[in-house]
Amino acid sequence: MVTQSLLWQSQQQSSDFAELCNALYERELITLARNECLALASLQGRIKSLPHYVKRTAFALLKAQTPLELDIQNASWLAKQVARSPEISQLSAYDETVIAWYKSQQLVHGLVVPIALNGHVFLDCIDRIDLEKQRFRTNVYGWFYLTDNETVSAATNRVKNEGDRASEADIEAESKAESEVTRQKVNLLKPTKKVMSAACAGHRWKDGQKLQPIMPSLRELLLSCTINWRNFKQPRVN
């Protein structure tokens, strides 16, 4: 027998789910409408797949195990923004802070990692690990070496210049990723509660000043729901 409290919870979840879907649809359609570079076939494909990803993201947001507060109306995470970008302290001691953290663990596929780019922290995930060359690749930002603070652009040139066993497909993919993102200030960060909260909530800074947060992409929202807040070294197991 369904109790009144369970029925109310079900109705509330259904209402929250619908509101999240509406917010996500509105945001993604505006993003697509403003993208003048998309070919017609690509645009049609993204619109066709949009219902699946919107529903998947809304469901994941409701089920996420996170210390952050969920803004149902805007389909976003809320967190207090600190005065200074958390990347500053990490990059001032990059080898001891960031590189040492990644070297101290056994990297796994699917691990969510923070990436700093022009005063904004983004979420990405590991999709390839190369132990021999002490590097790993993230889905969007490409290769990062654990030997120094090397940007993706430098890593791409390194692959080409070393003449290693990377396939033409690997090089092409890295070059494509490089062309899509400004590489001036791309840095890998160590995942901490402060850093991951900033990434999930879209916090950003410029010249030491806080800027208005921006909405993370659907992909980043999905990644935010897989963060293991109790152990950043492992993806969350559902």
pLDDT digits (tens, 9 = 90+) for 195-232: 999 999 999 999 889 999 999 999 999 999 999 999 99
For helices 4-34 and 40-63, what crossing angle results, to 10°?
Answer: 150
Q: How many residues make up the chain in this entry?
A: 238
| CA 18 – CA 101 distance, rounded (Å) | 40
**Distance, CA of 120 to CA of 113 (rounded, Å):** 14
Q: pLDDT category, 183, cuts 50, 70, 90?
A: very low
Q: Give, in order, the Cα–Cα distances in Å from 235 to each of 33, 108, 184.
A: 34, 8, 29
Contacts of 172 (CB under 8 A, 6+ apart): none
Q: Does 1 score more than 80 pLDDT? A: no
Res 142 pLDDT > 60: yes
Classify residue 228 as exposed, middle or buried by CB count within 10 Å of its CB (0-12, 13-18, 19+).
Answer: middle
- Residue 174 in contact with residue 142, Cβ under 8 Å? yes
Give whole-number Cα distances, 190 to 33, 87, 104, 226, in Å: 35, 9, 12, 17
pLDDT tens column, 43-101:
888 889 999 999 999 999 999 999 999 999 999 999 999 999 989 889 888 999 999 99
Strand ranges for 79-145 from DSSP E? 112-117, 120-130, 135-138, 142-145
Instruction: State residue 204 phi and psi, 5-degree precision.
Output: -150, 160
pLDDT-derived band at 165, boundaries 50, 70, 90: very low
pTM listed for this prediction: 0.78
Confidence tier at 170 by pLDDT (50, 70, 90): low
User: In the numeric block, which tokens belong to residue 76?
Assistant: 């976003």
Q: Which two tokens stand for residue 54?
A: 């919107």
